[in-house]
């Protein structure tokens, strides 16, 4: 379902919208609608659904790389490796 929203904006702002829209072969109304849709806050349900989908896509990569070192994902090992590379002892 959609709603109609009437906005009163300064002539200068509308003129800028209209110039941008014409350069894309669009109407000012369509141009402004695209801006609104790109910047509209998302519903919380949509955000949690997107987060879950992103987590599932990320999870497919878990274990995809074998470094040959069973401790390579261990934070203490990572810190020690970094310290060694930077010439510091922990």
Number of domains the chain is built from: 1
Q: Range of 34's domain?
A: 8-58
Examine residue 45 and state whether it is found in any structural domain, yes or no. Answer: yes
**For residues 17-41, average pLDDT:** 91
Examine residue 36 and state whether it is found in any structural domain, yes or no. Answer: yes
Examine residue 49 and state whether it is found in any structural domain, yes or no. Answer: yes
Examine residue 65 and state whether it is found in any structural domain, yes or no. Answer: no
Degrees, nearest 5: CA angle 38-42-45: 150
Largest distance between two CA atoms of the chain: 65
pLDDT of residue 64: 78
pLDDT of residue 90: 53
d(CA 40, CA 34): 10
pLDDT band at 89 (very low <50, low <70, confident <90, very high): low
User: What does the pLDDT look like over 39-88, one tens digit per residue?
Assistant: 888 776 667 788 888 898 988 888 777 888 887 788 888 898 889 899 86
């Amino acid at each position: 379902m959609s709603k109609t929203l009437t906005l009163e904006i300064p002539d200068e702002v509308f003129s800028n919208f209209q110039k941008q829209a014409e350069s894309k072969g669009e109407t000012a109304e369509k141009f402004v609608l695209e801006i609104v849709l790109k910047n509209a806050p998302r519903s919380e349900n949509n955000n949690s659904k997107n987060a879950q989908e992103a987590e599932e896509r990320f999870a497919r990569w878990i274990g995809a790389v074998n470094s040959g070192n069973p401790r390579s994902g261990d934070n203490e090992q990572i810190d020690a490796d970094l310290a060694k590379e930077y010439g510091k002892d922990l």
